[in-house]
Amino acid sequence: MVTTNRRRLLKQFVAKLFTCLFMALAAQALAQQPTDIAVLPKPETEKKWFENISLRGYMQVRYNRLLETNENLKCEQCDRSWGDNGGFFIRRMRLIFSGQVGKRVYFYVQPDFASSASSTGLHFGQLRDAYFDLGLDDKNEFRFRIGQSKVPFGFENLQSSQNRLPLDRHDAMNSAVSNERDLGVFFYWAPESKRKLFSSLVRDGLKGSGDYGVFAFGAYNGQTANKPELNDEPHIVSRITWPFELKNGQIVEASLQGYTGKWVMPTDQLSKEVKYVADRSYTDQRMAASFILYPKPFGIQAEYNMGKGPQFNPATDSIETRDLQGGYVTLSYMVKKGKHIIIPFTRFQHYEGGKKHELDARSYDVTETEIGLEWQPSKNFELVAMYTISKRRFEDFAKQGNLQEGRLLRLQAQLNF
């Protein structure tokens, strides 16, 4: 009887021992489980389309009246605060919304809140860019750009005003496309390596133009941005450019570009007495060459164009299709002192021809020299001082023989964000 009780007690002890051991092992396993889960990689979640949208922009405030010698010296295309009654002036106030909302879809919208609706109405909102890029391959080396955007004609035209050294674009090629933009469809191609180079030339402060492909071809209305089409013939444009790095580290870019189309003079750009062809339609054709040596530290930027376009002829009081030509050379030198960047520069430009988007397609003969300095104490602020020596003849029906010469010191403060 005693032996039977002992066996029963021994069995109960062994059972309790195994039960405790099992529970201890189970508790240990449960204690380790959270650690094991924590080290497992989390599954990647695809970003929502709105998480890829960015906002940036810049603002430019100017004053042009210092050391002014001729208040009648003006430049409608450049800066309307030149000359008589000019004062402090907001030249640009841009907000830029952009984003890669799909693997092959990119969008870009840029309004400007410092547009001039008239000579007495300032600081109106106006659309500058509104387009999307549609990639044709996984690397987006081949893409279509659809909407209102810059026309691929000329390096300085494509270069953002946020990056340009002189305060205004030169007359010779900017007269081709007012505000540099129009509504159309453009095809761009560039290999991945060149797209990265285009991006770095802007990102590294080397005054790049941005990525408009090494080859571009497109069709656009031809009446310039925010203007209605006035005929059934689109303008055709093409550009080829090739940036490359030299053995000494300097980067060179060479380009050829051209466009052709018919420009229709809007009725509100015609004087009552001026003569013009019945359908107000004029040949509008240009070809141009560009050469850029990026400032590392010495830089050269040069462009020249020639062609035909509408131009006022004071000898006949009429708007005619006439030859045009002109270009510029800009020299610069980049100095870096700690976080400060200082860039002295000078530009010489000359242009003979018409400006189709001005009254009566004004006739111009421009010779101008600019000497300036850009100072960047931080990436968010820039200050430019530029002394301009200008000789401009600009004639329409009401202002014939209008030759103006003068000098002035121009200042610009720029905010980047």
Q: What does the DSSP assignment read for 107-118? A: EEEEEEEEE-SS
The tokens for 210 are: 């941005």
pLDDT of residue 30: 46
112 vs 80: which has the higher pLDDT: 112
Q: What torsion, rounded to 10 degrees, do the Cα atoms 343, 409, 79, 132 define?
A: 10
For 20, 21, 223, the CA distances from 15, given in Å and listed in that order, are: 9, 10, 95
Pull the structure tokens for residue 152.
């691929």
Among the residue ranges 30-34, 79-83, 92-96, 388-392, the one predicted with the least confidence is: 30-34
Residue 254 near residue 288 (C-beta atoms within 8 A): no
413 bridge partner residues: 61, 383
Residues present in the chain in total: 417
Q: Which structural domain range is residue 335 located in?
A: 91-416
Position 61 in a domain: no
What is the average pLDDT value for the chain, to the nearest integer? Answer: 91
Q: Give the model's confidence band at 22: pLDDT under 50 very low, under 70 low, under 90 confident, else very high.
A: very low
Using DSSP, state whether 29 is helix, strand or coil: helix
Model pLDDT, residue 18? 45
Is residue 143's pLDDT more than 50? Answer: yes
Does the structure show a pLDDT above 60 at 130?
yes
Q: Is residue 197 part of a domain?
A: yes
Residue 231 CB burial class (10 angstroms; 0-12, 13-18, ≥19): middle
- Asked if residue 71 belongs to a domain, the reply is no
- CATH number for 267: 2.40.160.10
- Return d(Cα 345, Cα 64) in angstroms, integer: 18
Instruction: State the sign of the Cα–Cα–Cα–Cα dihedral 359, 360, 361, 366.
Output: negative
Does 266 fall in a domain?
Answer: yes
Q: Is residue 30 part of a domain?
A: no
Whether 15 is covered by a domain: the verdict is no
Task: Indicate whether 39 pLDDT > 60.
Answer: no
Whether the model clears a pTM of 0.75, i.e. scores above it, the answer is: yes
Quote the number of domains for the chain: 1
Is 336 a member of any domain?
A: yes
